[in-house]
Amino acid sequence: MTNIQNGKYQSCLKRAWAIYALITIALIVVLVLFVAEDNEERFFFAIMPAAAAYVFRPTERYLGKLIFKFTGVSKPEENE
């Protein structure tokens, strides 16, 4: 049972990171296409949201809480 739960949790975790990456990419596209006025701003808006998304990425604990809240799949216990 733990293997199945671990597989479901890992699947949800991958999906959560994919959604996080897609939101970051969408933000970059919007900033570059609609907000930036010159090449310098386009370059800045292309790089800085990705760097900020990396620096302020959610922790594993926070993602675990969100996964449990939206899917009901909890992180399996780690037994050493």
The pTM (predicted TM-score) of the whole model is 0.84
Q: In whole angstroms, what is the distance from residue 11 CA to residue 64 CA?
A: 12
Q: Locate 72 and state its tokens.
A: 């009901």
User: In this predicted model, what pLDDT tens digit does every residue of 42-72 receive, in sequence order?
Assistant: 999 999 999 999 999 999 999 999 999 999 8
Instruction: Please give the helix or strand (H or E) that residue 7 lies within, else none.
Output: helix 2-30
User: In this predicted model, what pLDDT tens digit does every residue of 1-58 receive, in sequence order?
Assistant: 567 778 899 999 999 999 999 999 999 999 999 999 999 999 999 999 999 999 999 9
The answer to whether 12 touches 63, Cβ cutoff 8 Å, is no
Q: In whole angstroms, what is the distance from residue 80 CA to residue 20 CA?
A: 30
